[in-house]
Amino acid sequence: MKTLAAQVITPEDLLKHWQGHRALTRRVIELFPDKDFFEFSIGGMRPFSKLADELLAIGAPALKGIVNRNIQPYTEGSEKLIFKAQYLEKWDEATAEINENWQKLTIEDFNETFNLFGQYEFPIIHNILYFIDNEVHHRGQGYVYLRALGIEPPFFWER
């Protein structure tokens, strides 16, 4: 018989937290001028479109892999998006896919170990927290870019 660790946050609240971050990142994408979304960088960092490619390659595909216990290698940018509107469309599709796959997780799943992308063998809850942390990290880079472009980013707490 499996025992569960003490629960601090419900799966529903964790999803709401994650999707709040995703909604904020979407707003950051929207604020970028089209050209700068693909070209602007500071100090050798990737343009925000490349950061968005990474986020799109992690969230929905990784959660789908977790739910299906299907270990797939990490692949980024296999679909060449050339317009910011395409990113927003893919972002919305990924959001719906995350919501759909989230419903397939059980409370027991969160403590199960999963080898994410065949590289990161951790409990599923740690993988999900990584998805959120990674997005916050890259969104922070986007905030720096927007400020450098003279654009006021959204308040980080408006999720």
Q: What are the per-10-residue average pLDDT scores of the chain (159 residues)? A: 68 96 97 97 96 96 95 80 96 98 95 92 95 96 98 89
Options 1.20.120.450, 1.10.238.10, 3.40.50.150, 3.90.470.20; CATH for 19-149 is 1.20.120.450
Q: Residue ranges of the domains in the chain? A: 19-149
Place of tokens 């989230």: 102
The pLDDT value given to residue 138: 97
The pLDDT value given to residue 2: 58
The pLDDT value given to residue 88: 98
The pLDDT value given to residue 75: 79
For the annotated binding site, the residues are 138
The token pair at 54 is 């990474």
**Cα(99)–Cα(15) distance, integer angstroms:** 8
- What is the full DSSP assignment across 57-83? HHHHHHHHHHHHT---------S---S
For the annotated binding site for a divalent metal cation, the residues are 138
Place of tokens 């971050």: 21
Q: 112: burial class by Cβ within 10 Å (0-12, 13-18, 19+)?
A: middle
Q: Model's pTM, two decimal places? A: 0.91
Answer positive or negative: Cα dihedral of 146, 152, 156, 158.
negative
